[in-house]
Structure formats: C-alpha cells, structure tokens
A and B are shown apart, each in its own frame.
Chain A
Amino acid sequence: MKLSKCFQQGRFVITCEVGPPKGIEIEKLINELEPLRSKADAFNVTDLQSSVLRVGSLATCRLLKEKDLEPIMQLTCRDRNRLGLQSDVLSAAVLGVDNLLCLTGDHPKLGDHPQAMPVFDLDSVQLLSAVKRLMDGKDMAGNDLEGRPPQFCLGAVVNPGADPLEPQIMKMEKKVRAGAEFFQTQAVYEVDKFAKFMKRVGHLKVPVMAGIVLLKSPAMAKFMNANVAGIHVPDEIIDELSSVPKEKRVGKSLEISARLIRQLKNLCQGVHIMALGWERHITAVLEMAGL
C-alpha cells in the first residue's frame, strides 16, 4: 500500500528503518520486525547505508512484502547510473514495491569500500523527476514504456538541522516540484527548532515525518553531535541520559524518545524511527508515546 494513503487518512504515520545484514542470513531482521507489524505503517529498507556493502534494498523489500510488511525502498544515486536506477525502479514495481524514497546517498569514501567510484550520475532531484517520468510511461530518454506504467508513492529526505537551513529548504522545494509526496527528516532532538522548520516549510503542504534516533548512550549522542551533519543533541538530554546508572539507561533512553515523539506529534504528520540495532525496543517507545 502506498504511504500517501496513510497520510490521506489523517493518521499520524509511523515508519521504521531497517538495515539489511552484511551477509545472507536475513531471517533475524525479518523476525525482529514481526512485533512491529501492528505498530508501524511501513519499513524503510536502506540502500547500502553509510556506503557499507550489504544485502540490497530491493531483495529485502520483496522479502518484507512476502511477509505482508509494507516496504519503502530507499534508492540512492551513489552506485548506479541512470540506466541502473531506472531499471531498478521498474524491477521494484514488478516485485510489488509501492513506496520509493529517493536520496543522493553518502559518498563511498565514508564507507567500507572507499576505493569505489562514486557514480552520482543523477542527483536526488533528478532521480525523483526520472521516476515521475517512468510513472508517466516514459524513460529519461523519452522512449515509451510498454504497457501500463509503474505507480509509486515517492518520498524524499530533508535535514531540518542543517546550517545554513535555507539551501536545504530550497532543495526541498525542488524535490516537491520533482514529485516528492512525503519527507522524512534527519534525527530531531530540538523540538523548538523543528517547530520553526515546520512553519518555514508549511507552504509546501507536504507531509513531514520527524526522524527519531534512539540514543544508546551519552557517548553516542556526543559522537553524533561531533560527526553527523545536522544532528544536535542538547546538553540537557545528554545529562538526563547520564544521570541514571548504566543498567537503567535503556529505560531512560526510551523515555526520552517517547517524550520527543509526544512533543513532535502535534507539529508534523509522522515519525520515522531509526533504531540502529535497537529494533526490539521500538514497540516499547511507541507505547510509552501513546501510539
């Protein structure tokens, strides 16, 4: 089912991120998602996240589909030129994928194959345009597709914590014009700042899902502050997490995330949860948040 339907129903939409394994034993991933069946509307399957070699997004999306779990296929411009990308988009349609999230992708230098050639034949705006064109029955070269065209709900990403923010918003506007129907954001920890961002992009009238990354430790928060673009975990949250003994940290972390979700609920149309290995805790967070 297309994610756009969930937004149309006026629901607060919940998606979770799924990182395929580095290796072929994928059963664990599928099993971990089982308890989330009734909680999440869809699952983003990452496309070689952080430029690290893993099982592909398309194959994993299909496995989710077979389990009746709704996938969102992430598609980056890093590894394929326009032929490869368009072909994979058609393949996704053939395999029953209804939702695509189009992004630029990390540079290969950040991953485990820094020697790889960075492709970036298209950028995220051009990729959205290309998929939209396929949905209109034509490829990028203007050739007609045979038979009925593929249909997708197209998503994109934005980083509300970027500084300066204005270029991000200008690119977000382009993505909407190119066909993006919903946005997922980088992790949000500052509700006030996010509220201002939502006000600034209100004219785009497009659903935005706030990113939630579960904090595993104060060190992780500090690491993200220093190394991840656009993420800022305020000192109060780090102090709050540090204030409890180690054995109570998980509970505290979930409490912080649940509180953030409750605060964000009235500002945006959904949340996108990136658990980064803590998938088993997602149900608890959502329940604590009253979802």
Chain B
Amino acid sequence: MIFTQSKPIDEVLESLGEEKDIFLLACNGCVEACETGGEKGLAAIKGELEKAGKKITGTCLVDFLCNKMLVTTRLSREMDKIQSADSIVILTCGIGVQAVSKVVNKVVHPADNTVSLGGLQGLWPSDERCQACGDCALDYTGGICPIAFCAKGLLNGPCGGAQDGKCEVDAEKDCGWQLIYERLEQVGRLENFKKIRTPRDHSNMLPSDELRKTSFYDIEA
C-alpha cells in the first residue's frame, strides 16, 4: 500500500490561488485506508474548500487513480463538470496525480503528500527498505540493505558517528552498519565485511527506455 499524508489546507489554497470553480477527485484505494482520500477525505476537503469560498463543480471517487484505464472510463462521465471547473483537486498518491493529469487536460492540484511506497500483499515496493539501486548488496550484508538503512548509504562499514548503536542523524534510528555487523557475526559471515565494495553505478537506477515504453510501466502507454 502506498502511504500518504494530507497537505495542510493552506498549502492547497495557496496552490489554487484565484481559481474558484473546483472539481474534486479522490482515489478510493490506498488513500482511503490512510483517510487522506476516499469518501471521508473527500468530504473533509470539500468542507474546507467551501469554507474558503470555493465552488465545487462536482466530485468523483475512483477505485484506483493509478489505473489509467479506470480513470479514463470513470472520468468520461464527469467530463462536463470537469471542463467547467478551473482546476482539479486530487486526493491520491503521486502516481495517481500523474495518471489524471495525463487523461484530463486540466490543471491538477495534489492534496496529499506521498510519504512511502509501502507494501501490498506479498510486495513491498518501498524505498525505505529498497531503493532499487540496481546492484543488490544484500547477499554480502546479511540481508540488511546498507543503502536503505545507513543515513549515508555507505557500502564499506560504519562512519564514526554512531553512538550506542544509534545513527548520528536520528537517535531513534539504529545504525544500519551495526545491524549488518551483528547479523554477519550471527550468521558467521564477518568475512563479507572485509571485502571492499566498489562505488555504486547510479545509472543502474534509471529504468531502461524499453521498460518505460511497456504498458505495465508507463502511464502514458
């Protein structure tokens, strides 16, 4: 599941500026669970916008705004109300906003911030555990990712900044390299630590152009 937080209403209003007639669109998927969307989120922001003097030309709930086909079909029924509005305020993740903006030729305003790609049954497409570096080091670090768990993404061991096993950046956070060290010791693979890891190839993080063109990947396709 993708996790989101509502933007402060002042931020949304600032983004709307002089635009008065607003179409409200909310996803009924992940944001429903976060209460940053769905019926509840939609009702909340409708009240706020009306209180600020905005006119709501229409509202619409779509199960998955990240699904372009669904968005196209569902919004075709609302097109008049959408076109009569100055802009669309959308309660969804960053992907949903991009999908809508591709389907409708209208200014879009996200009302949520995407904070994590979270996890779905059997999946965890989240960069707090995996940053999709394209050169997985987990085999050598005992199954704990040094890029995701070390604040500096160091590949060859801890910096000198950890104190009592906690990160210099956040005393609530464990030092990733301490976790890796303990794990390697536990599984009898401290030898792994001694290998010098060469610098990352950041070009690995860019999906190939081929992949970008597939219908599985691309919201434009």
Contacts and interface: CB of A to CB of B under 8 A. Distances in A.
The prevalent SS among residues of B at the interface is loop
Contacts of A170: 157, 190, 193-194
Contacts of B199: 82, 121-122, 126, 130, 140
A168 B158 contact: yes
Contacts of B164: 163
Contacts of A123: 152, 154-157
| Residues of B in contact with A, size category | 20 to 34
Interface stretch (A6-14, A89-97, A172-180): A172-180
Contacts of B177: 167
Contacts, number: 91
A170 B184 CA distance: 13
Contact of B181 (A104, A106, A166): A166
Contacts of A159: 160
B120 interface: no
Given A104-B159, A107-B168, A229-B163, A167 B196 contact: no
How extensive is the interface on chain A, given as a class?
35 or more
A94 to B, nearest CB: 24
Nearest to B146: A123
Interface of A: 77, 82, 104, 106-107, 109-110, 118, 120-126, 129-130, 140, 157-159, 162-164, 166-168, 170-171, 173-174, 177-178, 186, 227-230
Given A123-B155, A170-B157, 8 more contacts: A104-B160, A126-B156, A126-B197, A159-B160, A170-B190, A174-B196, A229-B161, A229-B163
Interface of B: 151-164, 168-170, 177-178, 181, 190, 193-194, 196-200, 202
